[in-house]
Amino acid sequence: MPEIRLMRRVLASNDALAAAQLKVLDRHGVLGINIMSGPGAGKTSLVERTAEALGRKYRIQVIEGDIQGDLDARRVTAKGVSCVQINTQGACHLDGLMLGPAMGEIDFGKLDLLIIENVGNLVCPAEFALPAHYNVTVISTPEGSDKPVKYPLMFSKSDVLVINKMDLLPHVDFDLPALKKVVRKLKPGITFIETSARTGAGVDKWVAWLEQKLRARRKSR
Amino acid sequence: MPEIRLMRRVLASNDALAAAQLKVLDRHGVLGINIMSGPGAGKTSLVERTAEALGRKYRIQVIEGDIQGDLDARRVTAKGVSCVQINTQGACHLDGLMLGPAMGEIDFGKLDLLIIENVGNLVCPAEFALPAHYNVTVISTPEGSDKPVKYPLMFSKSDVLVINKMDLLPHVDFDLPALKKVVRKLKPGITFIETSARTGAGVDKWVAWLEQKLRARRKSR
């Protein structure tokens, strides 16, 4: 199976590249967040809400990963936050190599927060480290509470699980306690945040988590 | 970029393998269906509904593709349909090689319909041909109507687009005409079927489409 051996080599060199890129963020006291989810769970809506809440208080840069198009970048810049759109041209995830050119463009000395929105995919992005201090996974209630059982790697790599589309809870079959139980086994100590990016409910808790991390990083400068 | 060249070789040999596997189905007049979607769009629910509607009339075999676990296989066999669970052990899609052992187990002479439920992923499965006459993609209304713009390959490879969770339409932002317009450009002549696998609404249209294809194949035996 030559492709598996090659894949391991690719993963190892990506880990090294992402670690080097993270050092650039650390040198400037910038907080890096990697947001992952399946398609349509609400990553971009969460980024929009974040821009609304923190865009005047902190200097934010977004990197949007999409297979093609600039829909999400246009949504984010409409909120007054600068954004680099990376088109992966078919690739199912972002990695350090794809981020390379964007990392060269960004003036980290004038930044507080880098938000990387990964390609919508609950599988592959979990395998590729990015220059981020925290991995944030978004799951939405209509996807069903069995997702951690079926896509365990993503959840085991997450520091925060945002459970989004809570407004749809009355209309779908979603067992929140069962989900949390499985996720806690995959990642002990994970932080759960329940939101509706559409209505705005619970977004304050996400923003509070983010501000706490931002303040801690500022102090360490 | 050696991994890309290697990937092309893998894709080409998979095409050949899947074509050979499809010949086995053809020899026995079996209809093959490859169902794809992002995580939690409702593939398994659709398979359950199909088993309920056609399980006594046709001899059905399901192959479930999941990264790990047998949740879906248990749901499907509970409907009285036999099922092979393939665990991809981390891989983000099914391919001909992974199907190999299952293909050897199945007695195609005693079968009318093979349903392959792919790994929940709107990206990678579209690249790997399987022994199927039709690719069926399921999209659910909470995922948003922008998905074809962002994941065009999947839609361009689909013969049928099942638009599921239509019961949630009043609660989400989903522009059905806009979605259809984009998808028709990616795949002219694609068949749209609107369903709620949860309530059962519209499932009759899906079943009618499937029966039409099953009857056509029976005649050709």
Q: What is the ipTM of this complex?
A: 0.90
Residue in B196, B193, B198 with CA at minimum distance from that of residue B211: B193
Other beta carbons within 10 Å of B173: 12
Residues of A in contact with B147 (CB under 8 A): 39-40
What's the pLDDT at B6?
67
pLDDT at B220 over 80: no
Q: What is the mean pLDDT of residues B175-201?
A: 98
Which range has the worst mean pLDDT, A4-18, A179-193, B53-67, B104-118?
Answer: A4-18
- B221 band by pLDDT with thresholds 50, 70 and 90: low
- B5 band by pLDDT with thresholds 50, 70 and 90: low
Q: What is the mean pLDDT of residues B28-40?
A: 97
Candidates B151, B157, B185: best to mutate against A (most CBs of A within 10 A) is B151
- B219 band by pLDDT with thresholds 50, 70 and 90: confident
| Nearest beta carbon to residue B38 from set A10, A39, A90 | A39
Q: How many A×B Cβ pairs under 8 Å?
A: 115
- Domain positions in chain A are 2-219
Q: Residue written as tokens 């390379």?
A: A100
Candidates A5, A46, A151, A186: best to mutate against B (most CBs of B within 10 A) is A151
Question: Inter-chain contact B153–A71, Cβ cutoff 8 Å?
Answer: no
The CATH-assigned architecture of domain A2-219 is 3-Layer(aba) Sandwich (3.40)
Question: Inter-chain contact A120–B122, Cβ cutoff 8 Å?
Answer: yes
Shortest Cα–Cα distance, A201 to chain B (Å): 15
What's the pLDDT at B1?
40
Q: What is the mean pLDDT of residues B102-119?
A: 96
pLDDT at A220 over 80: no
Residues of A in contact with B73 (CB under 8 A): none
pLDDT at A153 over 50: yes
Q: Give the tens place of pLDDT for each residue, A12-56.
A: 899 999 999 999 999 999 999 999 999 999 999 999 999 999 999
pLDDT at A210 over 60: yes
What's the pLDDT at B149?
95
Q: Note whether B92 and B124 are within 8 A (CB).
A: yes
Q: Which residues contact B23 (CB under 8 A, 6 or more apart)?
A: none
pLDDT at B113 over 90: yes
| Nearest beta carbon to residue B92 from set A3, A124, A143 | A124
| Nearest beta carbon to residue A69 from set B40, B71, B149 | B149
Residues of A in contact with B39 (CB under 8 A): 38, 122, 143, 147, 150-151
Measured CA angle at A96 (ends A149, B144), to 5 deg: 50
| Nearest beta carbon to residue B150 from set A6, A67, A140 | A67
By C-alpha distance, the chain B residue nearest A145 is B40
pLDDT at B90 over 90: no
Chain mean pLDDT for chain B:
94
Q: Residue written as tokens 């949740």?
A: B71
Percent of chain A with pLDDT over 70: 96
Question: Inter-chain contact B40–A167, Cβ cutoff 8 Å?
Answer: no
Question: Inter-chain contact B90–A153, Cβ cutoff 8 Å?
Answer: yes
Rounded to two decimals, the pTM is 0.93
Per-position DSSP letters for chain B, written without gaps between them: -HHHHHHHHHHHHHHHHHHHHHHHHHHTT-EEEEEEESTTSSHHHHHHHHHHHHTTTS-EEEEEEESS--HHHHHHHTTT-EEEEEE-TT-SS--HHHHHHHHHH--GGG-SEEEEE--S-SSGGGGS--S-SEEEEEEEGGG-TTHHHHSHHHHHT-SEEEEE-GGGGGGS---HHHHHHHHHHHSTTPEEEE--TTT-TTHHHHHHHHHHHHHHHHHT-
Buried b (16+ CB within 10 A) or exposed e, B116-140: bbbbbbbbbbbbbbbbbbbbbbbbb
End-to-end CA distance of chain A: 47
Q: What is the mean pLDDT of residues B72-89?
A: 95
What's the pLDDT at B96?
95
Shortest Cα–Cα distance, A110 to chain B (Å): 31
Q: What is the mean pLDDT of residues B117-132?
A: 96
What's the pLDDT at A1?
41
pLDDT at B84 over 90: yes
Chain mean pLDDT for chain A:
94
Q: Give the tens place of pLDDT for each residue, A105-129.
A: 999 999 999 999 999 999 999 999 9
Q: What is the mean pLDDT of residues A189-200?
A: 97
How many alpha carbons fall within 13 Å on the CB side of residue B132?
Answer: 29
- A221 band by pLDDT with thresholds 50, 70 and 90: low
Length of chain B: 221
pLDDT at A9 over 80: no
pLDDT at B136 over 80: yes
